[in-house]
Amino acid sequence: MDLPIDHFRLLGVSPAADAQTVLRTLQLRLDRPPAQAYTEETLQARADLLRSSAEMLSDGNRRPAYEAALTALGTAGEPMIAALELPSSKEAAGLLLLLEAGQPLECFNLARRNLQPPQAPALGSGREADLTQLAGQACLAAARDLEDRRHYQSAAQTLEDGLLLLQRMGQRPELRENMRQALEQMAPYRVLDLLSRDATAVKERQEGLALLEELVQRRGGLEGEADPNFTLTQFEAFFRQIRCFLTLQEQLDLFNRWSRQGSAAAELMASTVLTASGFAQRKPDRIAEARQRLLAADPAQHPTMLANLHLLLGDVGAARTCFEAGASPDLKAWAERQGQDDPLGQLCAWCREWLARDVLPGYRDLEAEPDLEAYFNDRDVRTWVEREDRRQGRSFTAPAAPAPVSPPQWLESPTKGDFSGFTAWAQATLNSPFGTPAASSRPSDASGDSPAATDPAAVKDDSWRSRFSWGGSAPLDRSEENDEEEDDLDEVALDWPLARWRDQLTNPWRNQGQGGWNRLLPWVVPAVAALGGLLLAIGWMRHRPKAPAVLAPALPTPVVQREPVQPPPPAVIQPAATEAASAPAPTPTSPQPSPLNTDQPSAAELRTLLDQWLATKRSVLGGAPMPSDLERLARPEPIARLASEQKRNAERGERQGIDVEVKSVRIQNQSPSRIALLAEMSYSDRRLSSDGKVLTRTAPSTLRNIYVFGRDGQTWRLVATQPAP
């Protein structure tokens, strides 16, 4: 047998080791035999092989020739490796030394080959026992090495081959049990490995889906906890991570199968997937199916979710009834701040927030914006809604709030208690598809204020109803006094549901009382005309409040526009103002942004683009005017948030001085249309009055943010930001 190893690695010495070192190493190896039980014949052969290598390496005449031969192998035209030729009587000892030298996969493959005909040893012989023991140990060690390198599927395949071999030999039950346990513990990683592969790898993805179903069945279903090696917390994090690798159809098929097995959580998630598909693909019939399934399950548990489904299907009356009956006081107060006396505007604001946070994220093949205007302007949607209006005799009235409507019988009953088990965190899975909650890394300017003290919807317990909005809790709407407590640098947090409420601040557009009806106007007018209400609609349109005359560039239509976050701005070159300063600091000038049009931008190019955006924010928030061509760097939503922050500072007679330095960047994920860049920055800021006096100051700190860039045509632009976990 040819053993793929040279004398240096077999003995465990460096090629530079002298003769004395070789002899000392030989004695150490002889004094430390393997702990596992091997026959005396194999142990003696092991000692003979070690002595043979030591004699050759300590011989001043033979060693130079051997080293020259090794060098020649390395410089040969064809790839060649060194090997030692062993007699069959010493093959078990050679494989044992190969395993000790850190080559378990080669050892396993050779041992498996020698246990098969025609090399198979006699049944019951010591050689058979030694080779079986070697195969089992090498298999486990090789799987650990592959797992450490994140080759989970290859590691699992090695374990399956070793388990099959030992079962055929009928020996080493303890090694077989260790292999089974290792396979079970590796199952989630295999699922992630297989499902994260390219969509063209159909066979591997199907195998991953089968493993996922097997994993869920072993747990006793989504709500079960029968697997002691996979706790609910671990399963929660695992399921949240793999969702973004599953397509809409794959998720719907899985949830439908689990729902038929009696899983309430799967039924809820299937309804959410149907809603995402129906909204993104403009198929109201799928949203109608989601509503029907939710009504058939337990509508009293999800009144605010039902309100959104009714609204998306054009049934405004039912939407208002569900919202008024099921929304919490905090959520109602938040909605009133979005639409004031416009009930429809309040419903639209809540529906848009729900779509953006709970419904549309978390699918491999779906990237959609919660644009209600585009949805209701779609011809198929209008046709479906008008048909339902005619069938049910519905009509739309003026925006004045009607008299309270008696809720249906299921809403009059007390709301049931919190979900338990998987159903509770199913809400978290849907709300948080990109990772686990990320704590803010920026210190608060106000001392002693905790999120629970300023946020009426802060987490009070572990129940799904208090943690997530589907139970009717209010989005975070910070008061004016806490505006300086903004977390992170800018934009929208992508991964944690409560963080999304930070961008729901007061927006004058939403408070004009006109947005929601404008969004539904394209299909309201035909319905009103069909029922003879055209004059009423015209009268309302004549007297409705006017929209603001000056709009930020490229902003979406008002009512469902997400309110801007007040970001701690990122870049500064402006010198720090002192307490005694009396004259205003010079207004910084905005840098000229330059577009990034590379097909596959490098980390350095993305860093340059990020530096331009941070420098622009520093300049604008320091008092400079908004650049007219800022759309070269960012999409409309980040620009709108920056414009709102600038306006808010101007209304207060304040400006901000910011010091930020990007220390390092690293590309985390990259595709032809989207790149996630991890940036580590040093950051501090101060809020200045109009005369340059420092009002508040933030101590220097280190921030880690993930910046998401999207490609629009040929140009890469900033899409959003989230704090890194």
Q: Is 19 within the bounds of a domain? A: yes
Residue that is written with structure tokens 């000790």 in the block: 100
| CB-based contact 604:664 (threshold 8 Å) | no
Q: What is the DSSP string of 585-631?
A: PPPPPPP----B--SS--HHHHHHHHHHHHHHHHHHHTTPPPPTTGG
Whether residues 586 and 490 fall in one domain: no
Q: Assign residue 688 the CATH number of its domain.
A: 3.10.450
Query: Which pLDDT score, from 0 to 100, does residue 221 have?
Result: 84
Tell me, yes or no, whether 304 and 317 share the same domain: yes
Q: What does the pLDDT look like over 594-619, one tens digit per residue?
A: 788 888 889 898 999 899 889 998 88
Between residues 168 and 459, which one has the greater pLDDT? 168
Q: Is residue 204 part of a domain?
A: no
Phi/psi of residue 365, nearest 5 degrees:
-110, 25
Q: Identify which of 124, 125, 130, 74 has the alpha carbon closest to the alpha carbon of residue 107.
A: 130
Across the range 560-566, mean pLDDT stands at: 39
Tell whether 482 and 602 lie within a shared domain: no
- Are 559 and 594 contained in the same domain? no
Instruction: Supply the pLDDT for residue 498.
Output: 26
* Structural domain contains residue 220: no
Which residues touch 135 (CB under 8 Å, ≥6 apart)?
A: 108, 111, 112, 115, 162, 165, 166
Q: Are 448 and 400 in contact (CB under 8 A)?
A: no
Q: Please check whether residues 544 and 690 belong to one and the same domain.
A: no
End-to-end CA distance of the chain: 52
Q: Cα–Cα distances in Å, from 329 out to 323, 369, 461, 471?
A: 11, 28, 18, 12
Cα–Cα dist 706/490, whole Å: 11
Kindly state whether residue 212 falls inside one of the protein's structural domains.
no
Same domain, yes or no: 583 and 551: no
541-556 mean pLDDT: 37
| DSSP state letters, 284-326 | HHHHHHHHHHHHHH-GGG-HHHHHHHHHHTT-HHHHHHHHHHH
CA–CA dist 356, 353 (Å, integer): 5
Distance CA 94, CA 113 (A): 14
Share of the chain above pLDDT 90, in %: 23
pLDDT at site 692: 80
Q: Is 707 helix (H, G, I), strand (E, B) or coil?
A: strand
Same domain (yes/no): 595, 548: no
What are the tens digits of pLDDT across the range 290-327?
A: 999 988 877 777 889 999 999 999 989 889 999 988 88
**What percentage of residues in the chain have a pLDDT greater than 70?**
71
Examine the fold and report which residue of 510, 540, 566 is the final residue of a domain before the chain moves on. Answer: 566
- Residue 320 covered by a domain: yes
The answer to whether residue 283 is domain-embedded is: yes
Contact (Cβ atoms closer than 8 angstroms) between residue 638 and residue 491: yes
For the chain, helix (H) and strand (E) counts, in that order, are 28, 6
Coil/strand/helix, residue 496: coil
Backbone angles phi, psi at 306, to 5 degrees: -65, -35
**pLDDT tens for each residue of 351-369:** 999 999 999 998 999 988 9
Q: Is residue 213 part of a domain?
A: no
Note whether 40 and 117 are same-domain residues: yes
Are 523 and 376 in contact by the 8 Å Cβ rule? The answer is yes
Domain end position, chosen among 195, 210, 241: 195
* Domain stops at, among 174, 195, 216: 195
Mean pLDDT value across residues 223-233: 82
Quick check: is 449 in a domain? no
Is pLDDT of 505 > 50?
A: no
* Phi, psi values for residue 5, rounded to 5°: -160, 155
> Picking from 418-422, 549-553, 687-691, which range would have the lowest pLDDT averaged per residue?
549-553
Residues 79 and 15 in one domain: yes
Torsion angle in degrees (nearest 10) through CA of 216, 222, 224, 230: 50
- On whether the CB atoms of residues 155 and 186 are closer than 8 A, the answer is yes
Residue 395 has a CB neighbour count (10 Å cut-off) of 15
* Residues paired with 667 in a beta bridge: 677
Mean pLDDT calculated for residue range 134-152? 92
**For residue 508, is pLDDT > 70?**
no
Q: Is the pLDDT of residue 267 over 80?
A: yes
Q: What's the whole-model pTM score?
A: 0.52
104 and 249 inside one domain = no
**Of 145 and 674, more confident:** 145
Shared domain for 167 and 281, answered yes or no, is no
The count of structural domains within the chain is 3
Q: How far apart are CA 387 and CA 277, in angstroms?
A: 21
CA–CA gap between residue 235 and residue 215 (Å, rounded): 10
pLDDT tier for residue 465 given thresholds of 50, 70 and 90: very low
> How far is Cα 11 from Cα 284, in angstroms, rounded to an integer?
72
Q: Do 700 and 714 share a domain, yes or no?
A: yes
Structural domain including 584 reads 570-725
Cα gap 573→590, rounded to integer Å: 12
Tell me, what DSSP letter sits at residue 433?
T
